[in-house]
Structure 1
Amino acid sequence: MIVKIVRVLFVAACIILGLTWARLILGNLEEAGQVIQNRLMWTCLGGFAGALISGAVLILLFFVTQEMYERVAPSVVAVVLALIAGYSVSRYMLFWLPDLEVTYQLFISVTIVLVFGYIGIYLGLTRASNWTALVSAVRTRNIQSSTSVSLKLVDTSVLIDGRIADICLSGFIEGTLLIPRFVLKELQNIADSSDIIRRAKGRRGLDILKALQESAYPVGVSIIEDNPGNSREVDEKLVLLAKQYNARIFTTDFNLNKVAQIEGVVVMNINDLANALKPAVLPDETMEIKLIKEGKEPTQAVGYLDDGTMVVVDNGRGYLGRSVQVLVTSVLQTSAGRMIFARFNGLSK
Structure 2
Amino acid sequence: MPFVPRGEYKIVVRPRGGLLVGKVMMPELVRAVASAAKVNSEEIQRDTVCPNLAQNIIVISTPEQARVSQYASVRALGIGGQAYEVFAYAAAPETMVKGVIGGIPLSEMPEMIRANVVNDYNDTALEAHRIGTSHAVIVLLNVTTTRRNASPAANYAANRTPRARETANKFKTPFLLRKRERERKTATEKAGKTGQSKFRFSRKDDSPALPKSAQRERRNSRSENRETARRHERSANRNMRRSLSRDRAWTDVVKGSAKSETNTKTRQRSSPPARKPQNDPLTAKMLQLESIIKLMRESMRQQQETMRKQAEMITRLTSQQPRSGMQWRERINFIEELKLRD
Structure of larger gyration radius: 2
Query: Normalising by the residue count of structure 2, what TM-score does the alignment of the two structures yield?
Result: 0.19
